């Protein structure tokens, strides 16, 4: 059985004053069956770790470098994220692929480094609107998965997030059928590449404009094991109901 997962991606938002959201989220869900992860800006990981101590909440980074250390000004290694309290790291988010020109090969190198440190890589894939309109969605997703996912992946060290670029931060979401088509396709590809056992154990998240109002519908789609949530993860008031919807789906 795959343990469901709700991951909040704060992106470049929040400060020390936001840490109260962690307390409120933990108070709303003191013992969830699902896994609940917050990925704050790296500067907040250590205080967030201290805040989350004694709660089931887990933490993640939003990116890491492929090298363990060295002359890479401005970058953060997987080991540094781990030391700061992260158990997860988001890699290959479309904002990294777009804003920083990250290729699938680079994402794979980063994910390999993260897994070597014992972190779980949340590898993001997703098509542009023009690619969906040209009926290329599955080709794009398949290509990104092949390029970005490391060979040594397992259900413990890999999560894949399907995030259509046109759905991120826009309030637009694919239909349940469209999400299901992609998630079933991703499951089949993982089973073909890693074998049925590993392929079935990797959790698949949907991301892109997930809100309390659409979470129940999205979580009912086959092969959706949870969500990667941006804007609606910034406050416990918005994120806790999404976790509740996931808990209900898990039941």
CB of 170 to ligand PGA, least distance (A): 7
- Residues annotated as catalytic (active site), given as ranges: 93, 163
CB of 117 to ligand PGA, least distance (A): 22
The residue (of 199 and 210) whose beta carbon lies closer to ligand PGA is 210
Binding site for ligand PGA (CB under 6 A): 9, 163, 168-169, 207-210, 228-232
Could you tell me which of 75, 69, 70, 8 has the C-alpha nearest to residue 38?
Answer: 8
The residue (of 98 and 169) whose beta carbon lies closer to ligand PGA is 169
H-helix or E-strand containing 6? strand 5-9
Longest dimension (CA), the chain: 49
CB of 63 to ligand PGA, least distance (A): 13
CB of 213 to ligand PGA, least distance (A): 13
* Whole-angstrom distance, CA of residue 39 vs CA of residue 159: 14
Neighbouring C-beta atoms of residue 241, cutoff 10 Å: 17
Q: Which residues of 26-57 are buried (b: 16+ CB within 10 A; e: fewer)?
A: bebbeebebbbbbbbbbebbebbbebbeebeb
The residue (of 90 and 194) whose beta carbon lies closer to ligand PGA is 90
Using the Cα atoms of residue 160, residue 166, residue 172 and residue 173 in order, give the sign of their dihedral: negative
Shortest Cβ contact with ligand PGA: which residue?
230
The residue (of 180 and 230) whose beta carbon lies closer to ligand PGA is 230
């Amino acid at each position: 059985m795959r343990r469901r997962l709700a991951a909040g991606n704060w992106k470049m938002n929040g400060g020390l004053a936001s840490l109260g959201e962690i307390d409120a989220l933990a108070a709303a869900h003191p013992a969830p069956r699902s896994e609940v992860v917050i990925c704050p800006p790296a500067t907040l990981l250590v205080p967030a770790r201290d805040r989350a101590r004694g709660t089931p909440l887990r933490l993640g980074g939003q990116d890491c470098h492929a090298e363990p250390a060295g002359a890479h000004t401005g970058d953060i290694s997987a080991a540094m994220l781990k030391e700061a309290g992260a158990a997860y790291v988001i890699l290959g988010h479309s904002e990294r692929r777009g804003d920083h020109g990250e290729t699938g090969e680079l994402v794979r190198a980063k994910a390999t480094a993260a897994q070597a440190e014992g972190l779980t890589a949340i590898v993001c894939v997703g098509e542009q609107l023009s690619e969906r309109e040209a009926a290329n969605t599955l080709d794009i997703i398949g290509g990104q998965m092949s390029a970005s996912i490391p060979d040594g992946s397992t259900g413990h060290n890999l999560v894949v997030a399907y995030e259509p670029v046109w759905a991120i931060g826009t309030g637009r979401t694919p239909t349940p059928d469209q999400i299901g088509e992609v998630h079933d396709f991703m499951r089949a590809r993982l089973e073909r590449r890693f074998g049925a056992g590993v392929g079935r154990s990797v959790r698949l998240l949907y991301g892109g404009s997930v809100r309390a109002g659409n979470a129940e519908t999205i979580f009912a789609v086959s092969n959706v094991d949870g969500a990667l949530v941006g804007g609606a993860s910034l406050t416990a008031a918005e994120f806790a109901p999404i976790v509740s919807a996931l808990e209900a789906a898990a039941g």
